[in-house]
Amino acid sequence: QVQLVESGVGSIQPVGSLRLSCAASGRTESSHSIGWFRRAPGKEREFVASISASGMSTSYGAFVKGRFIINRNNVNNTVSLRMSTLRPEDTAVYYCAAARTSAVFVDESDIDYWGRGTLVTVSS
């Protein structure tokens, strides 16, 4: 029983940076791994990043290449995604996601809860 609420809708120019946040609520949220997927216009949803329940382990999609950082604050049950050196190709709806497993995830099939999504637009 976990609810996820994204915040930080952003519109930014190329090479800029912004931060997205995901607030999790529920009795067992501290036992879930949490992360992000994204879906660009006309494309399939893809994995962005995830972090384990403990915050000790992280995983990133291949396209990230050091540009994004995921962090977890288990005091206020918030996960953030810090994005830098943004490119137009990063334009997408970003979805917060949680899995009942405590380990990191990389596949949609592992997801048990989805946020509604938040739009990030990178353009000149």
16-59 per-position pLDDT tens digit = 999 999 999 987 677 899 999 999 999 999 999 999 999 999 99
Mean pLDDT score of the chain, rounded to an integer? 93
Name the burial class of residue 97, with classes exposed (0-12), middle (13-18) and buried (19+) by CB atoms within 10 angstroms of its CB. Answer: buried
How far is 105 from 36, CA to CA, in rounded Å?
10
Q: Which of 85, 79, 74 is nearest to 105 (CA)?
A: 79
Residue 14: its pLDDT value, please?
93
**Identity at 7, one-letter amino acid code:** S
Using one digit for the tens of pLDDT, what is the confidence trace for 90-100? 999 999 999 99
Residue 60: the pLDDT is 97
